[in-house]
A = this chain, B = another copy of it.
Amino acid sequence: MLSKKTKYGLKALTYLASIDSKEPVQIAEIAKHENISQKFLESILLTLRRNGFLGSKKGKGGGYYLIKEPEEIVMTAVIRVLEGPIAMVPCVSLNFYEKCDDCPDENKCSVHKLMLQVRDGALEVYRNNTLADLIA
């Protein structure tokens, strides 16, 4: 299940990309337009800023704005920051690999075998989608 954090984060990014101008947009405006709890959104935007997706400007006339072109923002990166691992099991994760406690041999594990394919499928989708693709 996709967390609301990811969902809201994606929606916020989409909104900023659709605005098109690089002018800062206030949290309140984004929250209202996308029906998101403002305080929750606040923390989400913060992590997006810390990870290089957004810039921010404080004070009057401040807000958040995209720091890169929508075409450059690839979903693999967004998902990993907001949702975490793309793989459904740590033992098939590229960026968050972890061995299973049970499972003496990964290569013979049925779960491993199946989830490897699922991961590859998801990865291909995320790699082929930028923020620009989602607003088209």
A14 proximal to B (CB < 8 A): yes
Point out the residues of chain B lying under 8 angstroms from A125, CB to CB.
114, 117-118, 121
In the docked arrangement, what's the CA distance between A1 and B110, Å? 17
Which A residues, 3 to 51, have Cβ-Cβ distances below 8 Å to chain B?
7, 10-11, 14, 34-36
Q: Contacts A118-B122, A118-B125, A122-B118: A36 and B102 contacting too (C-beta < 8 A)? A: yes
A57 proximal to B (CB < 8 A): no
A67 proximal to B (CB < 8 A): no
The number of residues on chain A lying at the interface, defined by a beta carbon within 8 Å of a beta carbon of chain B, is: 33
Point out the residues of chain B lying under 8 angstroms from A1, CB to CB.
85, 88-89
Which A residues, 73 to 108, have Cβ-Cβ distances below 8 Å to chain B?
75, 85, 88-89, 101-103
In the docked arrangement, what's the CA distance between A11 and B118, Å? 17
Tell me how far the C-beta of A112 lies from the nearest C-beta in chain B, rounded to whole angstroms.
10
The one of B75, B85, B88, B122 in contact with A121, judged by C-beta atoms closer than 8 angstroms, is B122
Q: Contacts A121-B122, A121-B124, A122-B122: A7 and B114 contacting too (C-beta < 8 A)? A: no
Q: List 22 A-B contacts (CB under 8 A).
A: A1-B88, A1-B89, A2-B88, A2-B115, A7-B89, A10-B110, A10-B111, A10-B114, A11-B109, A14-B110, A34-B102, A35-B101, A35-B102, A36-B102, A110-B134, A113-B134, A117-B125, A118-B121, A118-B125, A121-B122, A121-B124, A122-B122
